[in-house]
Structure 1
Amino acid sequence: MRTVFVSGLGREVPVLGFGCASLGSRVSESQGLRALSYAFERGVGWYDVAPAYGDGEAEGILGKFLAARRERVVVCTKFGIPRPVVSPLMRLFRPAARAMAKALPLLSRQPPRVNRPWSKNRLRADQIEGSVVESLRRLRTDFIDVLALDEPNPEDCLNEAILRELRRVLEKGYVRCVAIAGSPEAIAAAARAPEIFKIAQLPDNPFVETLERTKQATGDGAKFFFVTHGVFGLGAHERLSHLLVGDGGRLGALASQLAYGPPFMAAEMLLDYAFAVNPDGAVLASMFTQAHIDTNCARARRPPRRDIGPFMQKFVIAAKQ
């Protein structure tokens, strides 16, 4: 798989990362562990998780996967959205919910939702170290490669108490690199902070173009290694699929001239676009079937395409305006 250099970590990483938001909720532990291992064997080496993911179960499941693989992968977890408290009754109903999602594929493709308390003091400096220690315990590791502030306000990224606590967990060796996972406005604020934030994570696809707006806001983004996600989500896959078959299949015929074709035309175009607009960064995908993993890894082995960006700009991005 193609790799890129992350200066904040001082190492090469694969360009394709594994998003663990559904691990433990929509995806069972056994299915998740199989998918994590299958992706690892095919070169995936960046695993993105958070205390709240998978109804609070994702970090623990990922920790089981990390045994005997820890030094060969990068783990990013987060601070900001607390781990939810799930009642025993809700845990009992999880298998039924998974069966329903499997029976209704459109439901299973919806992005996972997390209740986010947008209070002014949601990110509290005095809770950072405790959260990190708990993540270390669940992940069964003694260090976290990347710790990201999760959906901070711009003011949080310049808050001296928060910055001081982030430096503390770095100095203690709990964390090797600090990131910002949030809006273009928050990332722009982080770019003005003292040299602490090295990585920026954000959603991006042709219909939102968040990465482009963020680079403009941060002076072409030279400060950050960018990690994008949501390439298939936020309605992108459905919207592109509709465009490809609409108007008598005109756009699909044009895409076939770039060697795209059924059955995964929309997915392959979106992933190629994500790699093309972020050629020096990484792209996260939630992928829990062998077919999905194989397709994504095949695209990640190729150099970024130079033709997909202009194609999307002309026929897809222009269509939304």
Structure 2
Amino acid sequence: MRSVELVSGIHSSVLGFGCAPILGAVGRREADRALGHALDCGVTHFDIARSYGYGEAESHVGRFLAGRREELVIASKFGIRATWKAGLLRPLKPLVRTLKGQRKPAMGPPSSTEIQSTPKRDPFHQRIPLTPAAMQASLEQSLKALRTDYLDLFFLHEPLGAIERLDDLVEAAETLKQQGKVKGWGLAFDWASHSMVAPSFSRFEVLQFNNSPGSQHYAQALAARRDQPNVFFSPLRGAGGLKPNRVLEQMWSDFPNSVILCSMFKPEHITANAEAAGE
């Protein structure tokens, strides 16, 4: 599979695996099958966050990827975490998945590149202060859960507005890089907040945001970020009827230095997306 260098020394497969559904909408066995198949297909970029899987996804992914760390690019985020109430859902999640699986989808099966949705405000997730101390604490928790000494990419997770104390955060990120705990520093955001966070873009090495050929902001993103290092999610949202492989191929052609995240849990979807990302 082709790769791109998002940050100096970090070579990611152009197709990334979005881990948000793991231990949320997707159970352990299905997740493990998908992770294993993605690895077999050449996927090396795995995207996760403290909040994913109601706080359980990092630990699960860390256990599964143990022993292959040097082959992989692992990206995580800070800024949103699961609350204590999320733990109450643990025994109920298998039942919820079973009930959902028994329902017939109204609009056909999920898209092969269906992507994660990030929790904003709900009883099971909360935003943490965007301070150096909170960032350090979140990172240490991620490293422990993921069974690693470092993250390849560490993202600030979807701030809702202008980022306060940004100078302090950038300084703390540089310290973490010097310590070898983080290799690259980025901002993950929803394009709806673009105007509020855009003044901070130059302070980050990588941007991660929703992008699709059918989105209203695609041309704007293309003009500003064509050759820049990006990580995209929600590639099929509003894609105008284009087949998934055509969407991916167009985006990689338009943004040659970018990774596209897909939350893909069916082997046939992983295979098809990997083929689109081939040499």
SS of 2:264 mapped into structure 1: coil
Distance 1:205 1:10, change over 3 A: same
Could you say which residue in structure 2 is the equivalent of 1:229? 233
Could you say which residue in structure 2 is the equivalent of 1:268? 245
SS of 1:161 mapped into structure 2: helix
**TM-score relative to the length of structure 1:** 0.75
Preserved contact between residue 46 and residue 75 of structure 1 (Cα < 8 Å): yes
Could you say which residue in structure 1 is the equivalent of 2:185? 178
Partner Cα distance (2:205, 2:215) in 1: 23
C-alpha displacement at 1:94, in angstroms?
0.8
Q: Superposed, which structure 2 residues align to 1:44-83 within 5 Å?
A: 44-83=43-82
* Unpaired runs of at least 5, structure 1: 242-264, 303-321
* Residue 85 of structure 1 pairs with residue 89 of structure 2: no
Q: 1:115 aligns with which of 120, 124, 136?
A: 120
Aligned letter for 2:212? N
Could you say which residue in structure 2 is the equivalent of 1:5? 5
Preserved contact between residue 55 and residue 86 of structure 2 (Cα < 8 Å): no
SS of 2:120 mapped into structure 1: coil
C-alpha displacement at 1:2, in angstroms?
1.5
Percentage of matched positions with identical amino acids: 28
Q: 1:188 aligns with which of 198, 202, 211?
A: 198
Q: Superposed, which structure 2 residues align to 1:109-188 within 5 Å?
A: 109=110, 112-116=117-121, 122-153=129-160, 155-156=162-163, 159-182=166-189, 183=191, 184-185=194-195, 188=198
Partner Cα distance (1:69, 1:78) in 2: 21
Aligned letter for 1:226? N
Partner Cα distance (2:86, 2:163) in 1: 31
- Superposed CA offset, 1:270-313 (max 9, x none): 222332322221111000111110111111115xxxxxxxxxxx
Partner Cα distance (1:120, 1:90) in 2: 19
Give the total of aligned pairs.
Answer: 268
- Superposed CA offset, 1:165-186 (max 9, x none): 2222222221111011113335
Q: Superposed, which structure 2 residues align to 1:31-42 within 5 Å?
A: 31-42=30-41
Distance 1:164 1:116, change over 3 A: farther
Distance 1:278 1:55, change over 3 A: same
**TM-score relative to the length of structure 2:** 0.85
Q: 1:213 aligns with which of 203, 220, 241?
A: 220
Greater helix percent: which structure?
A: 1
Preserved contact between residue 59 and residue 135 of structure 1 (Cα < 8 Å): yes
Preserved contact between residue 24 and residue 58 of structure 1 (Cα < 8 Å): yes
SS of 1:82 mapped into structure 2: strand
* Residue 96 of structure 1 pairs with residue 95 of structure 2: yes
Partner Cα distance (2:164, 2:213) in 1: 27
Partner Cα distance (1:113, 1:11) in 2: 25
Distance 1:146 1:158, change over 3 A: same
SS of 2:154 mapped into structure 1: strand
Distance 1:133 1:210, change over 3 A: farther
Partner Cα distance (1:21, 1:95) in 2: 16
* Unpaired runs of at least 5, structure 2: none
Name the stretch that deviates more: 281-290 or 169-178: 169-178
Partner Cα distance (2:225, 2:148) in 1: 35
Partner Cα distance (2:96, 2:37) in 1: 24
Distance 1:186 1:300, change over 3 A: farther
Distance 1:177 1:17, change over 3 A: same
Partner Cα distance (1:151, 1:87) in 2: 20
Greater strand percent: which structure?
A: 2
Partner Cα distance (1:130, 1:121) in 2: 11
Distance 1:297 1:56, change over 3 A: same
Rg larger in structure: 1
Distance 1:83 1:172, change over 3 A: farther
